[in-house]
Amino acid sequence: MSGEKTIFKKIIDREIPAEIIYEDEFCLAFNDVNPQAPIHVLVIPKQEIASMAQLNHSDQELAGHLMLTVAKLAKTLGLENGYRTIVNTGTEGGQTVDHLHLHLLGGRSLQWPPG
């Protein structure tokens, strides 16, 4: 990947602050700066992958790890009544940061369909 670091890569590299709530060898989780629910966490891989569309077969284990991390965090955060996981992809998918991220939203009743 070339060009300027994304804001999430800067968070990984501790160049800008974030409310980091979880970290392991493969991923990082932090509170979204513009929360859309009482709990709004972003789970990102440390590896620079621009979006879900850039995942390939060799990322299978990592992709599973990200999902399992969301599920683990949801439990830790007390979201036993449910939560929503969103991965916006590309322009029409509403993706604004070109580093793969899973939104974990919870703590209120969420409506469907989304906009």
Q: Residue 34 or residue 56: which is nearer to ligand AMP going by CB?
A: 34
CB 41 within 8 A of CB 29: yes
Whole-angstrom Cα distance, residue 78 to residue 96?
A: 28
Instruction: Judge whether 103 counts as a catalytic residue.
Output: no
| Residue 42 or 49 with smaller CB distance to ligand AMP | 42
Shortest CB 105 distance to ligand AMP, Å = 10
Contacts of 75 (CB under 8 A, 6+ apart): none
Catalytic residue among 57, 65, 99, 101: 101
Minimum CB separation of residue 21 from ligand AMP in Å reads 11
Picking from 3, 1, 4, 100, the residue whose alpha carbon sits closest to that of residue 43 is: 100
Q: Which amino acid is at 23?
A: E
- Backbone φ and ψ of 21, nearest 5°: -110, -15
Binding site residues, ligand AMP, CB under 6 A? 7, 18, 30, 32-34, 42, 88, 94-97
Least separation in angstroms between CB 78 and ligand AMP: 21
The catalytic residue positions are 101
